């Protein structure tokens, strides 16, 4: 339970807000590369409450500038894509990809007014299917050497989806290992061999037990949280019959991402980036340590559940998320189908646009959430004190040396969960066709 003031402090991210200042110190996903693949590579982007337009210019370079023309505010998403930038259709002012106004064709001959006009512009970078933006002051930080960035393009698939709620509650479902035993419970197990590209459908580690069964049969995980250079490492133990323990390691990557196992072959690194205070996108990078990712299949699976161009889920608040009480009685815990994304979406959206945390009661299994909020508050305080170097992965840290993070499921008959998890990870990395050594 926290105060209204604190809830506002840790959820609101518009320009000038303390949490917004923290998020702006990191690269944030702005669009999928897929969105720029059409004939006209210009897309509206709303990020951290700021309306922007992203485009690829004639030289193949990306630009991200303010959406409303600095002249009289026309929408530059309708701009003429010319040379190295966008030309406003209202009076023809031309902006290059850095936002500089380079021409005002209607102003008197010889006018140099354009030299003084600059649209807000942010640095962008493209990595494995996602266009990233840096909206903070100074030079952008380096990218960490996470698996999703190290792996070749063939082994990473990126997708996104809209959730109509504040980013923090979206992130908090990802650092809550207990919910998977309930929210994602399937009352019957499917054949794990037919579940490519889906989460929580594989076998548990080297066993023949479907992960759905582990989650269902052992609903009281023992959760521990460690501080790391990138954020938090969460370990969830499920003590099973026969002296076995299921060890699941997931991570919070500061400030808005998580890294979790998806199957024995793949992990998911997922950012919960704010569109504004009341909406967010999840951007996921599915990284394979084995075969190249079947992107066509994974895209088709996800496009069945989403509509373009907004990547809005077909199941949503307006249609009760497809809720079917009969299904809830016999097949799933939620009655909302087999796609676990829909379960998570319901869980986070049903808390309201911005969860009122003055009314919550956190339990022992919410330790990841408690630790994350503490970390966010410390980062807010550090920035207010002018100590940017105290933020995770900034300052003196050699960000490019940060690898992993280890995200996996292991089953062990010992009490040394740590080594069981590490050796499972080491085996996967050793067999990986790209250089995944850490
Ligand atoms: S509003 Fe854009 S050029 Fe006038
Ligand atoms: Fe979930």
DSSP string computed for 61-129: -EEEEESB-TTT--BGGG-EEETTEEE-TTT--EEETTSBEEE-TTSPTT--GGGG-B--B--EEEETT
For the chain, helix, strand, coil in percent to 5 are: 30, 30, 40
What pLDDT score does 199 carry?
74
What pLDDT score does 189 carry?
77
Average pLDDT over residues 362-366: 97
Percent of the chain with pLDDT over 70: 100
Residue among 402, 405, 409 at smallest CA distance from 424: 409
Query: CB neighbours (10 Å) of residue 154?
Result: 14
Kindly give the distance from the C-alpha atom of residue 189 to the centroid of ligand 2, in angstroms, as a whole number. 17
Average pLDDT over residues 281-307: 97
- pLDDT per residue over 164-206, tens digit each? 999 999 999 999 999 999 999 998 877 777 777 777 777 887 7
- pLDDT per residue over 74-88, tens digit each? 999 999 999 899 999
For residue 337, the SS3 value is coil
| 78 ligand 1 Cβ < 6 A | no
Instruction: Tell me if 80 sits within 8 A of 73, measured CB to CB.
Output: no
Interatomic CA distance for residues 128 and 151, integer angstroms = 8
For residue 329, the SS3 value is helix
Cis peptide, bond prior to residue 437, ω within 30 of zero? no
The DSSP letter of residue 187 is: S
Whether residue 207 has pLDDT greater than 90: no
Whether residue 403 has pLDDT greater than 80: yes
For residue 347, the SS3 value is helix
Ligand 1 atom nearest to CA at 93: 3
Instruction: Tell me if 137 sits within 8 A of 422, measured CB to CB.
Output: no
Residue showing tokens 């024995």:
264
Give CA torsion, residues 162, 172, 174, 276, to 10 deg. Answer: 20
Interatomic CA distance for residues 421 and 50, integer angstroms = 41
| 90 ligand 1 Cβ < 6 A | yes
Average pLDDT over residues 128-134: 98
Ligand 1 atom nearest to CA at 69: 2
What pLDDT score does 107 carry?
97
State the pairing for strand pair 28-32/130-133: antiparallel
Residue among 6, 27, 1 at smallest CA distance from 376: 6
Interatomic CA distance for residues 86 and 94, integer angstroms = 6
Interatomic CA distance for residues 163 and 262, integer angstroms = 20
| 218 ligand 1 Cβ < 6 A | no
Whether residue 209 has pLDDT greater than 90: no
Average pLDDT over residues 204-215: 85
Name the residue ranges covered by the structural domains of the chain: 42-133, 145-430
Considering the chain, what is the average pLDDT of its residues?
95
Kindly give the distance from the C-alpha atom of residue 3 to the centroid of ligand 2, in angstroms, as a whole number. 26
Average pLDDT over residues 103-129: 97
Interatomic CA distance for residues 125 and 85, integer angstroms = 17
Average pLDDT over residues 219-245: 96
Residue list, CB under 5 A from ion ligand 2: 344
What pLDDT score does 200 carry?
72
First to last CA, the chain: 40
Both tokens assigned to 286: 């599915």
Interatomic CA distance for residues 314 and 303, integer angstroms = 9
Ligand 1 atom nearest to CA at 74: 1
Interatomic CA distance for residues 317 and 349, integer angstroms = 8
Instruction: Tell me if 230 sits within 8 A of 372, measured CB to CB.
Output: no
Average pLDDT over residues 293-300: 96
- pLDDT per residue over 37-74, tens digit each? 999 999 999 999 999 999 999 889 999 999 999 999 99
Whether residue 282 has pLDDT greater than 80: yes
Kindly give the distance from the C-alpha atom of residue 25 to the centroid of ligand 2, in angstroms, as a whole number. 27
Interatomic CA distance for residues 338 and 315, integer angstroms = 12
With vertex at residue 29, the alpha carbon angle to CA 355 and CA 22, rounded to the nearest 5 degrees, is 60
Kindly give the distance from the C-alpha atom of residue 77 to the centroid of ligand 1, in angstroms, as a whole number. 12
Average pLDDT over residues 428-438: 95
Query: In the structure, what pLDDT confidence band is assigned to residue 264 with cuts at 50, 70 and 90?
Result: confident
Kindly give the distance from the C-alpha atom of residue 89 to the centroid of ligand 1, in angstroms, as a whole number. 7
Determine the CATH number of domain 42-133.
Answer: 2.102.10.10
- pLDDT per residue over 327-356, tens digit each? 999 999 999 999 999 999 999 999 999 999
| 72 ligand 1 Cβ < 6 A | yes
Average pLDDT over residues 402-425: 93
- pLDDT per residue over 1-30, tens digit each? 899 999 999 999 999 999 999 999 999 999
Query: In the structure, what pLDDT confidence band is assigned to residue 210 with cuts at 50, 70 and 90?
Result: confident
Q: What are phi and psi of 188, to 5 degrees?
A: -130, 145
pTM: 0.96
Burial class (CB in 10 A: 0-12, 13-18, 19+), 71: middle
């Amino acid at each position: 339970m926290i105060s209204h003031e604190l809830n506002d402090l840790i959820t609101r991210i518009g320009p000038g807000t303390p949490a917004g200042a923290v998020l702006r110190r990191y690269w944030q996903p702005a669009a999928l590369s897929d969105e720029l693949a059409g004939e006209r590579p210009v897309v509206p982007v709303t990020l951290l409450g700021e309306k922007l337009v992203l485009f690829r210019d004639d030289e193949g370079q990306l630009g991200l500038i303010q959406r409303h023309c600095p002249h009289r505010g026309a929408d530059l998403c309708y701009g003429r894509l010319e040379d190295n930038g966008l030309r406003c259709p209202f009076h023809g002012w031309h902006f290059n990809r850095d936002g500089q106004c380079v021409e005002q064709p209607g102003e008197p001959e010889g006018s140099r007014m354009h030299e003084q006009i600059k649209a807000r512009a942010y640095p962008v970078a493209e990595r494995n299917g996602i266009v990233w933006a840096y909206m903070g002051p100074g030079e952008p930080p380096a990218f960490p050497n996470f698996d999703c960035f190290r792996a070749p393009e063939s082994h990473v698939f990126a997708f996104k989806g809209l959730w109509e709620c504040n980013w923090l509650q979206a992130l908090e479902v990802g650092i809550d290992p207990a919910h998977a035993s309930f929210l994602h419970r399937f009352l019957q197990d499917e054949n794990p061999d037919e579940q490519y590209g889906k989460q929580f459908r594989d076998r548990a580690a080297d066993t023949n037990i479907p992960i759905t069964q582990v989650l269902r049969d052992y609903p009281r995980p023992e959760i521990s949280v460690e501080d790391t250079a990138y954020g938090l490492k969460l370990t969830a133990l499920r003590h099973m019959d026969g002296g076995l323990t299921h060890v699941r390691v997931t991570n919070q990557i500061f400030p808005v991402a998580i890294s979790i196992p998806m199957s024995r072959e793949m992990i998911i690194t997922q950012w919960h980036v704010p569109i504004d205070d009341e909406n967010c996108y999840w951007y996921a990078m599915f990284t394979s340590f084995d075969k190249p990712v079947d992107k066509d299949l994974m895209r088709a699976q996800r496009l069945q559940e989403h509509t373009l161009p907004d990547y809005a889920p077909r199941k949503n608040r307006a249609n009760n998320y497809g809720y079917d009480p009969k299904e809830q009685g016999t097949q799933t815990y939620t009655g909302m189908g087999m796609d676990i994304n829909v379960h998570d979406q319901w869980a986070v959206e049903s808390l309201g646009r911005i969860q009122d945390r003055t009314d919550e009661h956190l339990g022992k299994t919410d330790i990841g959430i408690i630790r994350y909020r503490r970390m966010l508050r410390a980062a807010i305080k550090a920035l207010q004190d002018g100590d940017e170097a105290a933020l995770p992965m900034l300052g003196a840290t050699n960000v490019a040396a940060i690898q992993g993070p280890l995200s996996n499921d292991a089953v062990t008959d010992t009490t040394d969960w740590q080594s069981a998890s590490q050796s499972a990870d080491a085996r996967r990395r050793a067999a990986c066709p790209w250089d995944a050594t850490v």
